[in-house]
Amino acid sequence: MRNSILIIITILIAQIGAAQSIEGVIFDKETGEPLPFANVILFEDSIQISGMTTSMEGEYSFDDIAPGTYDVEAVYVGYPNQRISGIKVEEGIVKVDVEMEEDENGVDLSNVYVSPPHGRLFRSDGTPNFVTIHGKVFDEKTKEGLPFANIILLQKGVQIAGTTTTIKGNYIFGKLEPGEYNIEAVYIGYPNARITGILVENNAIPLDISMQEGEGKHFLDIQVIEVNIPIIRYDETSTGATWKAHEIKRFPRF
């Protein structure tokens, strides 16, 4: 039993030490300014595996990903989507900055400036212009955040934006015009949760969404793939043999 525990710990340490990540900045091609609250989506084999929102500095990071080939797509209001394909990740940090060119038919932001973080956004004449809705999507019973939930923002029955929650269940919609909105949360195994009549006038609006596990409307057909984990010696070299997933389950818990 002691040997099994030591081997498992060695595997975990080796995996942590070999963690890879993709990180970078989303920015405006013409001005070079970073784009805060942009949605960034990570794809593998054309399948979305993760998503997040950029920081106030336009930064994003997908951590602890396996070696492989990925695509990164940036989505921002007023800009055509921009995708970087064929990103090869082998080890360490892969830097991928994404430049976005404003759509000629997009939103005119020329008379807007950004005040310090968590402040208001104003037009040059001092009237409020863009606002933010943010919060956490969580399980009503356990209170735990729901990662990678799809959050849809609607206005007058029309979807105008979408994002994905972070690993902790947080989401944010930035650069919104004052008005009335509806938000819908979609998560596998949970009925959709919709909050309507959200009146946004200025500043940031905190809006947490609780979801109750049950017979959700959205389910996926999931194919179970056999996973082989290499057996690591104490000197961190591989023996060449592997454990299968069902064999790992037989190990004593610790």
User: Which tens digits make up the pLDDT trace of 128-154?
Assistant: 456 788 889 999 999 999 998 889 999
Task: Report how far residue 180's alpha carbon sits from residue 196's, in angstroms, rounded to the nearest whole number.
Answer: 9
The Cα 9–Cα 5 span in angstroms is 6
Q: How far is 139 from 209, CA to CA, in rounded Å?
A: 9
The two tokens of residue 147 are: 């990662």
What's the predicted TM-score (pTM) here? Answer: 0.41
The b-or-e profile of 25-45 (16+ CB within 10 A means b, else e) is: bbbbeeeeebbbbbbbbbbbe
Amino acid type, 66: A
Q: How long is the chain?
A: 254
Which whole-number Å values give the CA distances from 59 to 98, 101, 149, 186, in the listed order?
10, 17, 21, 26
- pLDDT, tens only, 34-59: 998 888 999 999 888 888 888 888 99
Cα first-last separation, the chain: 10
Domains and CATH numbers, the chain: 1-104 (2.60.40.1120), 112-219 (2.60.40.1120)
Q: What is the pLDDT of residues 75-113, one digit of tens each?
A: 887 788 899 999 999 989 999 999 999 876 544 434 333
